[in-house]
Structure 1
């Protein structure tokens, strides 16, 4: 991955990109003085970066985290006063731009790991939900307090993703009260996969990314496609059909024969993703 794939490490005003391992990119929300709160600029940059990363040939795993003491505090309240003056269509345009940014991140073909290092509130909660896997520091806090400011918890995919992670009843209680969910409860309810000490969080996310990178790129990518698609498919038969096609496709690629050959000879496979 180079500057030619549109993912240069510099040139962004709200984001930072780092590459700690081959095939692994860490995307950091980089507005620590504002608790990495979201702005229209961040939405534009996030969508652009996500689309570019999805086209980056060598990408295997994306890690998303926040600079400083927060993951993301949601929409920047310094910009919120202008929202009521935008008009219905202007507000819809902003909302759709934000939704496109998170949808682009969620639909990246490779696994996305959120390293939630602090508060994930409002749109920041939605951003963490857009990841496939969430690791959290004990200092992480989650909040969907849209109702406290006269808005709906149906925001940036939260209403759809939360119910699938923690269940409809737990989601209803969480969003109707607008309360904080501490890290321990988030782990217990399944909102996060596991807790990691704060000073080890990013290393743990990169280590997990490395474990994923050791596997067949095509197998991982089609696994993600099957998992996401089957969240939206309403029947067992349709899920089987999707799985059958994915498995048939992968047997035509190079990685499965390589894995079998490596197993026969007692060596580690060399995956190419071709």
Structure 2
């Protein structure tokens, strides 16, 4: 296992609040666009989280009133025009690897979305386990607006599972903006929180998860991912095996002992 308390990324902000990691993009003057470097460093960060025993939950927050404006027009979109097919495929695979890393990191990820959340920014929010929004949040999967397909970074697979096929189809075909109220009503956002309270609310939620049975949370996240491609029978069997593993943890015994003693369990993640 590794520790990430001293992790110092070059292309985004990182800080720890106990065992909660807080990530924000660091270009607020341009509404926090992604670059080739920030894509790659974020991917590597979430891959490393699998082995980080000092991080139990992650908040992906906003900065300067915005979440993320997608790929930087000058640093990414411009150079893509002159790339070969081989180079383009390497880029699109890298961006997809960020989604895979977020889904596979073994930690609950909470997006705290304020202001602009479009393109790859909308994908990052989509790839999180839970999403909180400020009333000003504007989310758009605007790939068709730049002449591309809506099927970017897993959007056609993941978004319909969150908000339904018809609603996802509308957003992915039109590229239009989804308001915070609409996103909450459709189930994309878990709830809407005033902007001044957004990050604190997300961190509080993350801390509650971090204080829970973190091995159990890892298993929950693992099964949420794996069961996408399983039949019902396969999923029930897989969950039987996963739950039997969790029943061997010390946290399971701690919960029982606390119940008998009429106390609140204190979980330690083992």
TM-score, with length taken from structure 2: 0.95
Q: Does 1:264 align with 2:260?
A: yes
Q: Does 1:23 align with 2:19?
A: yes
> 1:5 is matched with which residue?
3
Q: Does 1:247 align with 2:246?
A: no
Decide which moves more: 192-201 or 204-213: 204-213
2:52 to 26, 49, 56: 56
> 2:125 is matched with which residue?
128
Whole-angstrom distance in 2 between the partners of 1:100 and 1:161: 14
Whole-angstrom distance in 2 between the partners of 1:100 and 1:260: 39
> 1:72 is matched with which residue?
68
Q: How does 1:10-159 map to 2 (within 5 A)?
A: 10=8, 12-20=9-17, 22-79=18-75, 80-159=77-156
Alpha-carbon contact 1:116-1:140 (below 8 Å) kept: yes
Q: Does 1:273 align with 2:266?
A: no
> 2:189 is matched with which residue?
192
Q: Residues 155-202 of structure 1, C-alpha deviation per residue, up to 9 Å, x if partnerless?
A: 111111111111111111122122111111011111111100000000
Runs of 4 or more above 2 Å deviation:
4-10
Q: Residues 26-46 of structure 1, C-alpha deviation per residue, up to 9 Å, x if partnerless?
A: 111111122111110011110
> 1:180 is matched with which residue?
177
Alpha-carbon contact 1:125-1:158 (below 8 Å) kept: no
Whole-angstrom distance in 2 between the partners of 1:116 and 1:93: 29
Unaligned runs of 5+ in 1: none
Distance apart, 1:216 and its partner CA: 1.1
Equivalenced residue count is: 269
Alpha-carbon contact 1:109-1:224 (below 8 Å) kept: yes
> What is the SS of the residue equivalent to 1:18?
strand
Whole-angstrom distance in 2 between the partners of 1:7 and 1:37: 25
Alpha-carbon contact 1:115-1:201 (below 8 Å) kept: yes
2:208 to 208, 211, 215: 211
Whole-angstrom distance in 1 between the partners of 2:48 and 2:29: 27
Alpha-carbon contact 2:103-2:225 (below 8 Å) kept: no
Distance apart, 1:268 and its partner CA: 2.0
RMSD: 1.5
Whole-angstrom distance in 2 between the partners of 1:5 and 1:212: 19
Distance apart, 1:7 and its partner CA: 5.8
Alpha-carbon contact 1:6-1:49 (below 8 Å) kept: no
Whole-angstrom distance in 2 between the partners of 1:244 and 1:212: 23
> What is the SS of the residue equivalent to 2:112?
strand
Alpha-carbon contact 2:138-2:179 (below 8 Å) kept: yes
Whole-angstrom distance in 1 between the partners of 2:4 and 2:107: 17
Alpha-carbon contact 2:133-2:189 (below 8 Å) kept: yes
Whole-angstrom distance in 2 between the partners of 1:272 and 1:177: 46
Decide which moves more: 211-220 or 125-134: 211-220
